[in-house]
Amino acid sequence: MLQLQLKRPLAFFDLETTGVNVASDRIVEISILKAMPDGSQQIKTLKINPRIPIPIESSLVHGIYDDDVKNAPTFKQVAPEIIDFLGDADLAGYNSNRFDIPILMEEFLRVKAIFDIDNRHFVDVQNVFHQMEQRTLKAAYKFYCGKDIVNAHSAEADIKATYEVLLAQIAKYEGVNFEDKKGNITQPIVNNVEALHTFTSLNKPVDFAGRMVFNDNNVEVFNFGKHKGKPVTTVFEEEPSYYAWMMNGDFPLYTKNRLEKLWQKFKEQKLATKPIAPSPQKESPLPQSPLPEAPKPESPKPIARKAESTKPESPKPIAPKPEAINNDMLQMLANKFKKG
């Protein structure tokens, strides 16, 4: 069997859920096949209590009922185990870019578990298949591997089949020409995860749910509603309330997470390009004239005034009241001024 050429592990995973709504449904089972660079494989399968009822329609598809998971751990309890098992692996699956990865990221964000996917590659086996043959997993397994899936719609059986299908796809299409919608002819199927990531990322989504995508110029644009095809930053500029509407609306948490990052980037760029008001400049001193200046007319000197003391004036001494004049005093005065 062909061995994948890997620089780091590639984790194939499949989810069974309560439904297909990315924002509101929950995982009831996860199975991960971790293909290692040395050719070995590791498999982990966990049943999860979704803490909401499983609709009978979903149970009839994957065979998991409420009683099967009532004693199972919640996603919050198994999140650290899943993150540890995935490690730095790239991610792969069947329809994983549109469903499994968005659902998984919703669950991580819901319990505030940190799982960074920014530097990982994603290989969606369904996108290889749909672009080359356009069939279902069951048909793909039959077409590429010549076998029928035993116990189809169980997570482990499906993910093993998905792994085998990708190996068969690489063996079948390596070196085969592919013509895209613009008439460009390439040979995109190679034994390289980065190349497969590029080929299977059909819409170049920003948020996996496809509410925002990259256009041909690698610019983030809205992919739904009245602003479909319009750059996100243009909408922020023209209708900033659209951001608030989406953040408060019934959109997946990961969509809101990406929208928030774009909003913060937009605000930082606005702040960086905002013109800075010039600070008032001090007047430069006039250069001295080499010629003596004409004497200026003297201003009239102000009349000097005695500074008023701020100290309170001391009370003046009160003169003693003169004694009553009598004859003896008159005689004494006459004797003093009498001429000799």
DSSP for residue 231: B
> Taking the CA atoms of the chain, what radius of gyration do you get in angstroms?
45
Rounded to whole angstroms, the Cα distance separating 215 from 229 reads: 8
pLDDT of residue 93: 97
Q: Which residues of 140-171 are buried (b: 16+ CB within 10 A; e: fewer)?
A: bbbbbeeeebeeebbbbbbbbbbbbbbbbbbe
Q: What is the pTM of this model?
A: 0.64
Of 121, 44, 57, which is closest to residue 84 (Cα–Cα)? 44
Q: Which parts of the chain register pLDDT below 50?
A: 306-310, 339-340
Query: Can you give the pLDDT at residue 333?
Result: 62
The pLDDT assigned to 249 comes to 93
What is the pLDDT at residue 182? Answer: 76
pLDDT score recorded for residue 258: 94
Q: Is 159 left (phi over 0), alpha (psi -120 to 50) or beta?
A: alpha
Whether residue 193 contacts residue 121, with contact meaning beta carbons closer than 8 Å, is answered with: yes
Rounded-to-integer distance, Cα 41 and Cα 36, Å? 6
Which pLDDT score is estimated for 302? Answer: 54
Task: Give the three-state DSSP class for 56.
Answer: helix
Looking at the structure, give the CATH architecture of the domain made up of residues 10-202: 2-Layer Sandwich (3.30)
Tell me phi and psi for residue 256, to 5 degrees: -65, -35
Look up residue 263 and give its two tokens. 């909003």
pLDDT in tens, 160-215: 999 999 999 999 999 999 988 778 899 999 999 999 998 988 778 898 888 999 98
pLDDT of residue 337: 59
| Number of C-beta neighbours around residue 18 at 10 A | 23
For residues 165 and 144, is the Cβ–Cβ distance under 8 A? yes
Distance CA 66, CA 51 (A): 9
Contacts of 87 (CB under 8 A, 6+ apart): 9
Query: What DSSP element (H or E) covers 198?
Result: helix 193-200
Token reading at 116: 């960074």
How many CB atoms within 10 Å of residue 245? 11
* pLDDT value at residue 253: 93
Here the tokens at position 181 are: 């919608």
Please choose, from the candidates 67, 74, 25, the residue with its C-alpha nearest in 3D space to the C-alpha of residue 46: 74
Query: For residue 113, what are the CA distances in angstroms to 117, 165, 236?
Result: 12, 32, 29
Domain borders along the chain are 10-202, 206-270
